[in-house]
């Protein structure tokens, strides 16, 4: 039965129905089958047994296991007690902690006086048991002092002018006492207190404070416009891949993995790449839903279904006798909205595709904009980015991170001073999240026209975009496909009228093409293709989540003119 039919039958809200059914999924009484439009809940054989037992015995059989367990209990800086299960990441032993200290001199340790730490048994017992457990008896209370230390290493971000640090990975500390969390944020390392200096972005910047620059020939850069063209280019990159293939998609949909006939064309080509010995990595950008989110159950269920399909794909490879399978990075989320593909093309060499398209979620029916750069240096930089984001907010090394950095370090640095005729020369720059609005300032110098293309719209662009461009002499064209859920039509009308009264050269409206592209283009020679929704997303000028959005700025003969012509033809 579908959720709707169960809701109608029980006269309960659909959210309540889902909350009732999910625990039954967890114990294997029902499973979820997805159709095109809805979820179908189906009773399993185990569920039928449980049902008949409940009818016959008027209660469910409850099996109670008794067992002995040795449990670790931890005490923090403020005498709060924690279970071993309170920590999502492993605690470091003292030896490992010393090793980390030797590698990073900026680690700050909160002191704890173990000579005055005496076990408080009532507090200990309150945290020992897990949710499904009950302590029946404690066999040995002969614990007189706490002497063994373990360490929770927390990654911090410090921003100039602020007296508090920011905890990068909130999941690491979500179960810590709030007083301890405040102490962590307020404890500054000496490098911040004494020098007032902060860690900068990994890449060097030029005098204009923009990102790394690469010079390339026109023939080494492909501009890809349109949904089906994007799909064709993605398939070509998979078919031509050698050595390695990295696909980063914000979202992943089951329909991109399997269809009614079996595995999709996309995944069949990935399987062929695996057979050639290509190391395939799929990175998932979407952040994990918070348990407090009203749509948590639905989102979590969908994600688990996708993970199951991806695991099934690897299992199908094993069944065909293949040892090489896709590396899913343990399904860690990168928390990045960027979309890119990195590979070593068999004919054209190392390359990176940067796009507006969610490669593993899209049905390729919407207008997309992508750029493919066949350049060793550019690919080297992008492999470093992949290494930086693959573990999400954590800066600890993982196997995948080390492999990406190994691939990057194996690419030799190449000079940028290439002698290329001006009509064939392209200048490319990586544009990270916090750098996007710098290019709005550049676009303000346009003489004739400025085009800004976005999927969504809300009130975010009023100050950083509309106000920044209203003095420009160029005609401004702002296009979007959909409004954000938290802005209504009247607000859009008001924003349109305010913009028109403040800037008579502006034009704001929904585009009929169902575009998913995110593009800034001005005059003839300046083009920025990105993952950032210009008219709905914020891009503050700070070093927080700098890889959440990634674009490529291209300056070259008629690159903007060609895009605008393509877009106007839709």
Helix, strand, coil abundance in the chain, percent, nearest 5: 35, 20, 45
Helix (H) or strand (E) holding 225: strand 221-225
406 plus 447 within the same structural domain = no
Q: What is the largest CA-CA distance in the chain?
A: 86
Which residue range is the domain that position 351 belongs to?
Answer: 221-410
Can you give the pLDDT at residue 378? 93
* C-alpha triplet 360, 363, 368: angle, nearest 5°: 90
pLDDT surpassing 60 at residue 114: no
Q: How many domains does the chain have?
A: 4
Q: What is the CATH number of the domain that holds 295?
A: 3.30.870.10
Can you give the pLDDT at residue 511? 86
Query: Does residue 175 fall inside a structural domain?
Result: yes
CA distances from 455 to 367, 462, 515, 523, 549 (A): 10, 16, 6, 22, 14
What does the pLDDT average to over 336-360? 96
Backbone angles phi, psi at 393, to 5 degrees: -85, -5
365 plus 465 within the same structural domain = no
CA distances from 421 to 11, 124, 557, 560 (A): 72, 74, 11, 19
Q: Which residues contact 190 (CB under 8 A, 6 or more apart)?
A: 106
| Better-scored residue on pLDDT, 342 or 125 | 342
Other C-beta atoms closer than 10 Å to the C-beta of 478 total: 23
Query: Does residue 204 fall inside a structural domain?
Result: no
Query: Does residue 320 fall inside a structural domain?
Result: yes
364 plus 270 within the same structural domain = yes
User: In this predicted model, what pLDDT tens digit does every residue of 123-170 receive, in sequence order?
Assistant: 777 888 776 677 777 766 555 456 678 888 887 777 666 677 777 766
Backbone angles phi, psi at 85, to 5 degrees: -85, 0
- Among 348, 378, 410, the domain-final residue is 410
16 plus 79 within the same structural domain = no
366 plus 398 within the same structural domain = yes
167 plus 239 within the same structural domain = no
Which tokens sit at 58? 């008027």
307 plus 269 within the same structural domain = yes
Q: How confident is the model at residue 198 (pLDDT cuts 50, 70, 90)?
A: very low
Can you give the pLDDT at residue 108? 83
């Amino acid at each position: 039965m579908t959720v709707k039919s169960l809701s109608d039958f029980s006269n309960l809200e659909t959210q309540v129905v889902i909350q009732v059914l999910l625990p039954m999924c967890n114990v294997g009484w029902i499973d979820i089958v997805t159709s095109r439009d809805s979820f179908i809940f189906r009773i399993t054989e185990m569920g039928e047994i449980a049902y008949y037992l409940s009818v016959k015995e008027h209660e469910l059989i409850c099996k109670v296991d008794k067992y002995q367990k040795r449990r670790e209990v931890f005490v923090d800086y403020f005498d709060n007690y924690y279970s071993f299960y309170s920590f999502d990441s492993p605690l470091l032993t003292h030896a490992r902690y010393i090793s980390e200290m030797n590698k990073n001199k900026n680690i700050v340790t909160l002191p704890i006086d173990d000579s005055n730490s005496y076990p408080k048994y009532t507090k200990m017992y309150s945290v020992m048991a897990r949710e499904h457990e009950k302590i029946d008896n404690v066999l040995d209370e002969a614990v007189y002092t706490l002497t063994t230390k373990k360490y929770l290493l927390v990654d911090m971000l410090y921003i100039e002018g602020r007296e508090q640090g920011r905890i990068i990975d909130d999941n690491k500390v979500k179960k810590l006492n709030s007083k301890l969390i405040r102490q962590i944020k307020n404890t500054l390392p000496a490098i911040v207190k004494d020098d007032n200096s902060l860690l900068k972005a990994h890449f060097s910047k030029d005098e204009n404070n923009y990102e790394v620059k690469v010079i390339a020939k026109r023939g080494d850069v492909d501009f890809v416009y349109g949904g089906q063209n994007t799909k064709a280019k993605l398939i070509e990159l998979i078919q031509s891949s050698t050595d390695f293939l990295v696909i980063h998609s914000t979202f992943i949909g089951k329909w991109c993995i399997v269809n009614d006939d079996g595995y999709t064309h996309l995944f069949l080509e990935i399987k062929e790449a695996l057979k050639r010995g290509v190391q395939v990595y799929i990175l998932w950008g979407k952040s994990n839903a918070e348990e407090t989110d009203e749509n948590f159950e639905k989102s979590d269920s969908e994600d688990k279904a996708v993970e199951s399909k991806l695991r099934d794909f690897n299992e199908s490879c094993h069944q065909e006798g293949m040892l090489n399978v896709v590396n899913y990075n343990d399904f860690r989320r990168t928390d990045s909205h960027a979309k890119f593909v990195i590979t070593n093309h068999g004919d054209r060499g190392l390359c990176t595709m940067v796009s507006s398209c969610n490669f593993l979620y899209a049905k390729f029916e919407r207008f997309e904009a992508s750029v493919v750069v066949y350049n060793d240096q550019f690919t080297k930089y992008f492999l470093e980015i992949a290494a930086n984001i693959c573990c999400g907010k954590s800066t600890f090394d993982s196997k995948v991170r080390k492999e990406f950095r190994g691939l990057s370090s194996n690419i030799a640095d190449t000079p940028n001073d290439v002698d290329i005729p001006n009509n064939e020369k392209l200048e490319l720059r990586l544009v990270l999240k916090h750098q996007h609005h710098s290019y709005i300032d550049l676009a303000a110098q346009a003489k004739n026209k400025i085009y800004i293309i976005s999927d969504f719209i809300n009130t975010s662009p009023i100050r950083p975009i509309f106000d920044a461009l209203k003095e420009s002499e160029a005609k401004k064209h702002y296009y979007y496909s959909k409004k954000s859920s938290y802005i209504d039509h009247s607000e859009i009308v008001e924003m349109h009228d305010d913009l028109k009264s403040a800037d008579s050269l502006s034009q704001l409206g929904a585009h009929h093409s169902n575009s998913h592209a995110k593009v800034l283009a001005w005059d003839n020679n300046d083009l920025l293709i990105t993952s950032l929704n210009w008219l709905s997303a914020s891009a503050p000028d700070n070093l927080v989540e700098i890889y959440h959005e990634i674009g490529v700025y291209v300056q070259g003969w008629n690159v903007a003119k060609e895009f605008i012509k393509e877009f106007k033809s839709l």
